[in-house]
Amino acid sequence: MDSPVTFDRLYEGAKRFARLAMEAHAEQDQEVFLLHAGVSVERLAKAALARVHPTLLSEVNGKDDMLLHFAGAVSKPPARLRTIGASTAIGRLRKMDVLPQKSKSSSEADDLDGLIELRNGVAHLGTGDVEDYLGTFVATVDRLLPHLGQEASSFWESWSDAAQVVLDDRADRLQKDVRLRMNQARHRFRTRFADLPEGAVDG
């Protein structure tokens, strides 16, 4: 029997929820956007793992039903299908250098974690006004698609232009932030060594 959890189903599900997320964002419905964007990222992350090997979707909790199923060692899937959650999938992709690691110099990993945490919060409790995570969502998809062997235009379809605008704006803001940080670093450097003789330090 074919597995109900496959790369194609995960990828197509990610596309469907991405479209719903973009529609919700256009309607300024932040809660619905967070729900759909989080599901889209989770399914796309799982698709990336499944493309390497389906066993990477298995939980490590002492039960081996899903592991045997994904390895093709049993003919029938378990009665209860259970795979890893979004945070675990993202964590495994970070170890594989597919998604960015947490670092002091970049907030990209923290932003993605924030998106997933807010998705979970909306699902359980609802949420008030929150930061706009559209840039984080689109940038994460953009990082994952090459590892899936998929084109952005095929994934985003009618939302391709909007997604590219988001990426361009994000890149521009990141470049400005880098230039600002470099300028600040030079200022701190010059201030620190201001008492040295002229020409002793280049900067």
Residue 187, pLDDT above cutoff 70: no
- pLDDT (mean) for 99-118: 88
Tokens of 33: 């956007």
* 46 vs 73, more confident: 46
Question: Residue 108: pLDDT above 50?
Answer: yes
pLDDT, the chain, mean? 84
Indicate if the pLDDT at residue 65 is higher than 90: no
Domain boundaries, the chain: 7-158
Q: What is the pLDDT of residues 120-147, one digit of tens each?
A: 887 655 555 556 899 999 999 999 999 9
The whole-number average pLDDT for the span 170-189 is: 72
Predicted local distance difference test score (pLDDT) of residue 54: 87
Instruction: Copy the structure tokens of residue 57.
Output: 């979707």
Nearest to 149, CA basis, from 56, 54, 55, 51:
51
Reported as a pLDDT band with limits 50, 70 and 90, residue 59 is confident
Closest C-alpha among 9, 47, 22 to residue 166: 22
